[in-house]
Amino acid sequence: MKYTLQTTAFAAALALGGAALAASPEDNIKVVRDFFAAYGANDLDGIAAVMDEDVKWHIPGRHPLSGTKNGRDEVLAFFAQLGGAGFKAEPIYFGADENYVVDIHRGWSNAEGKPNVDTTWALVYRIEDGKIVEATNLSADQDAANTFFWSQYQLAPLPKRLAE
């Protein structure tokens, strides 16, 4: 069956004008492992290296950091803020196919004197040409995540918050 799937993928690539074959599940997991290594080292250049320039990163919730981040610069700004809050992530599981990786990880914080979060998260990554092109973040306890993020990040006063 695996041979049939690879043969079908090759035929599809030829039909698309010789486009590159999809990466193996192992190659895609390596992209996400490289992301986690860079994140753990607070290495924004390393994070950028595994992301497509037009990446979309979906952050659920109702807090100052929620919403879709469009493009590498917005995603890197998000991770710079997250790193400043002492948020850590420890991978537990990876699963993949030729286009997607799913990770399950423990995500926690240890901010002194503020509410913290310690819960399970899952991310669904879409990988193309060895780069993350889209990621959707899912929290096992969105209420705890919202409380944590509101405790870490305050909005500017109303006059400065509104667009001009």
Domains along the chain with CATH numbers: 27-153 (3.10.450.50)
Query: What pLDDT sits at residue 15?
Result: 46
* Three-state DSSP state, 163: coil
129-151 tens-digit pLDDT: 999 999 999 999 999 999 999 98
Whole-model pTM: value is 0.82
Query: What pLDDT sits at residue 112?
Result: 80
Share of the chain above pLDDT 90, in %: 68
* Three-state DSSP state, 57: strand
Task: Measure the CA angle with vertex 41, ends 36 and 44; round to 5°.
Answer: 80
89 touches 36 (CB < 8 A): yes
Instruction: Please enumerate in sequence order all residues whose Cβ is within 8 A of that of 48, keeping only pairs 6 or more positions apart, or say none.
Output: 72, 76
Residue 2 has pLDDT above 50, yes or no: no
Residue 104 has pLDDT above 90, yes or no: yes
